[in-house]
Structure 1
Amino acid sequence: DSFIHPEAFSGLHQLKVLMLQNNQLKTVPNSALKNLHSLQSLRLDANHITTVPDDSFESLQQLRHLWLDDNNLMEVPVGSLRHQANLRALTLALNRILYIPDNAFANLTSLVVLHLHNNRINEIGDNCFSGLVNLETLDLNFNNLKVFPKAIQALPKLKELGFHSNDIASIPEGAFHNNPLLKTIHLYDNPLSFVGASAFQNLSSLHSLMLRGASMMQDFPILTWTNNLESLTLSGTKISSIPTDLCEDLKVLRTLDLS
């Protein structure tokens, strides 16, 4: 269906899950959602949505999970997310988003999971993730980012970070110093030529680091106090030597790929 009558769900005051995926919707049926005060999960994925009116989810104060992936969105629907303080998971993947502005998710203080993969994002504001104080999973894989996303410094509880398959050439010094809880970093398939010496230091929670396909990378990353690493993938790089104290520093390492 491409149209949902404004009264289609009237009277469903106890409705908790609404699945509208795989339809022909071009916009969020905001009028039909007006009185669904108990709704916790809303699926709008796999439609043709290009616009999300600012008042779309205004009355959905209990909303926990929102799927907007696989649509035709050109931008983050900032206005419609302003009232979602209880949202835990949001996916905007598989759209056509080019840019993430500052404070795009500022009021989503309960958000734990954010999927932005498979868009066309080539730039993000340095403060675009401010307010996401509880975010644990961030997926920026398969985009067009050219610069390391400094905005992740606003994410103190981040555990899983993916921005593989982008166009990032360098990882700055202290890149993750504000993300001490990181467990996995997937950076592979980026044209990395520079990795700051301190970039991966002091990440005592880190279990998995994937830098596969960093074809210009020549120096082995310094992993001082990143001593719980279990899996390290450095295949397809130009690294020619391994630190002599590697085994001493990485006592729990199970997988080392230098192919």
Structure 2
Amino acid sequence: MTNVIKLIAPLFIIVCMFLATWIYFKNPPQEKSGYKKYFCDFKSIFMDKNVCYGVNDASVKLNSKIKVLPKDIFKGMNNLETLELQSTGLMSIDESIFNNLSNLKKLNIHNSSLVYIPSQLFNGLEKLESLSLTSTRIKSFEDKIFHGLRKLKVLQLNNNNLTSLRSNSFVELKSLQRLYLQSNKISLIHNETFDGLDKLEELDINNNNLSSVESGIFTGLNSLKYLRLSSNKLSTLDYNLFEDLKNLKELDISNNNLTHLDKDIFMNVGNLEILNIAANRLTHLDLHIFNGLINLYKLYLNNNELIYFQDQFFKDLPSLQILNLSTNKLVQLGNEHYRMSKKIQRLDISNNNITSLAKNIFNGVYDLITLNISFNHIETIKPGTFENLTKLYKFDMSHNGFVDLPLNNFHGLDGLRFFYLQSNKIKSIDHGYFDSMTELMQLDVSNNSLTYLTDNVFKNNKKLMSIKLSYNNINEIHDDTFEGLDGLHDLYLDNNDENIFNSNAIKNLSPLVNKHF
């Protein structure tokens, strides 16, 4: 039996080899085609085992530094839904490269060297919902380049070199909700550029070269909620520019060259909630310019050249919570008949020329939580000015001309946690100054004219964590000045008389306190 097996075995091997050879030539192995030719080849810069073996056949991300993509690189990827081409260095792209990607929903081409987009590039991408062409060198688009993209909801064209937008540029995009055009070089937008975009909710044209905007440019954008035109070169705006934008909630026209706004410019945007007019050259605003803006809760007027507000200026803004008037040329904020909006929560009037505050300016204001009056020329505060501000937790009075602070100036500030008084001319801090501030955590009285600290000056401020007294003339500290401040973490006394460092008040401090001498 063994001898028979020895005789048959070689013959069996020969037969098997013959059959294998016959099968090979009858059915030779097929060469890899389409995407597998690139994603399954270990020598290819596109090699990706997840794509090759179909581990994630719905999403592909390429970061390869390549100037040209093979036109058949995505052939056969019928299930692809997300395609990202980032930092590829692409200089050109074949118009048929996305053919047959009928299920693609998101396409992102970012940070490439593309200067031209073929007019047929997006043909067939009928399910596309998000398209991003950002940080390229594209200066313009062919007509009807977005033809057929009826399901597109988001279009990002920011950070390119676009110089103008043609009429009906986006007329095919019936489902578009968000359009981003910021950080281009756009100097001209035709009147019919946005025609057909009746579902558009967000439009960003920030940081371009627009010097004017035609009055009918936003006609038909009935769904628009967010419009950003900041950082352009706009010097005037037509009074009826926003008349069709009845659903607008946020408008940003900051950082332009506006010197005047018509009193009726906001007449038809009654749903507006956020308005930013900062960083322009406005010197005056009409008393009734905000008529009808009953939902406005954020208003930015900072960095203009405003000099004065009339007594009833903010009366038409019953919902106003955040108001920034900093860096203007205000000399005063109303007079004894002036009233601040009752719902105001954050107020910044810093960096103006204000010399005094009307005593009743905060009458009826109970929700203010941050107040900044720094960098003005205020020397005195009338008693009772802040008595209603029980919710105030951050107060900046720094960089003014305060010399003496009467004891009753701060009555009512029961919830204050951060108090900044640095860079004034304060000579003394006596008993009772901070007694009502039981929640105080940080106090800065540096760079003043203090010469001594009395005993128990902080007796009610048990939650103090940081006290800054640097750059004064302090030569005397009573023994129990810091007594009871068990939570104190930082004490700044540098640039004062060196004798105070040997005082009992300093020696009795907890070793856990960081002493900055």
- Identify if the C-alpha distance between structure 1 residues 171 and 154 changes in structure 2 by more than 3 Å, giving closer, same or farther: closer
87, 91, 111: which one aligns with 2:276: 91
Task: Report the alpha carbon displacement of residue 7 of structure 1 after superposing the two structures with TM.
Answer: 1.1
Counterparts of 2:262 and 2:278 in 1: how far apart (Å)?
A: 13
TM-score by length of structure 1 reads 0.94
Stretch deviating more after TM superposition (243-252 or 184-193): 243-252
How far, CA to CA, are the matches of 1:112 and 1:4 in structure 2? 31
1:9 match = 194
Amino acid at match of 1:175: I
Structure 2 regions of 5+ residues with no counterpart? Answer: 1-185, 447-517
Could you say which residue in structure 2 is the equivalent of 1:248?
A: 435
Using the TM superposition, give the Cα deviation of residue 33 of structure 1 relative to its aligned residue in structure 2, in angstroms.
Answer: 0.4
Match of 2:508 in 1: none
CA distance in 1, matches of 2:401, 2:340: 29
1:249 aligned counterpart, secondary structure: coil
Give the drift of 1:147: 1.0
Residue of structure 2 equivalent to 1:156: 342
Name whichever of 96-105 and 83-92 sits farther off: 96-105
Name the TM-score, length of structure 2 as normaliser.
Answer: 0.48
Q: Which residue of 2 aligns with 1:132?
A: 317
Query: Within 1, Cα distance between the matches of 2:278 and 2:403?
Result: 29
Who is 2:417 aligned against? 230
Task: Supply the distance in 2 between the matched residues of 1:19 and 1:215 (Cα, whole angstroms).
Answer: 43
Structure 2 CA distance for partners of 1:8 and 1:105, relative to 1, 3 Å: same
Q: CA deviation at 1:31?
A: 1.3
- How far apart in 1 are the matches of 2:400 and 2:216? 49
Q: Please state how far the C-alpha of 1:188 moved relative to its aligned partner.
A: 0.3
Which of 1 and 2 has greater Rg?
2
The SS at the match of 1:222 is: helix
Where structure 1 has 5 or more consecutive residues not aligned to the other structure, the ranges are none
Give the drift of 1:200: 1.3
Matched to 1:250, the amino acid is M
Higher helix share: 2
**Contact 1:93–1:117 (CA under 8 A) maintained in structure 2:** yes
Q: CA deviation at 1:243?
A: 4.2
- Partner of residue 327, structure 2: 142
Q: Give CA deviations for 1:88-116 in whole Å, capped at 9, x if unaligned.
A: 00000010000122122121110010001
Residues 1-21 of structure 1, C-alpha deviations (whole Å, 9 max, x = no match): 222111111111100111111
Matching residue of 1:62: 247
Structural RMSD (CA): 1.7
The total of aligned residue pairs comes to 259
Measured in 2, the distance between the counterparts of 1:101 and 1:232 equals: 35
- Runs of 4+, deviation exceeding 6 Å: none
Are residues 244 and 215 of structure 1, via their aligned partners in 2, closer, same or farther at CA, if it must alter by over 3 Å?
Answer: same
Q: Distance in 2 between matches of 1:29 and 1:163?
A: 34
Deviates more, 1:57-66 or 1:26-35: 26-35
SS at match of 2:435: helix
**Aligned ranges for residues 104-253 of structure 1 at < 5 Å?**
104-149=289-334, 153-220=339-406, 222-253=409-440
Partners of 2:303 and 2:201 in 1: how far apart?
A: 29
| Aligned residues of 2:373 and 2:398 also touching (Cα < 8 A) | yes
Q: Kindly tell me: are residues 16 and 110 of structure 1, through their superposed partners in 2, closer, same or farther at Cα, counting changes over 3 Å?
A: same
Identity within the alignment, %: 28
Residue 216 of structure 2: SS of its match in structure 1?
A: coil
C-alpha spacing 1:65/1:212, structure 2 compared with 1 (3 Å): same
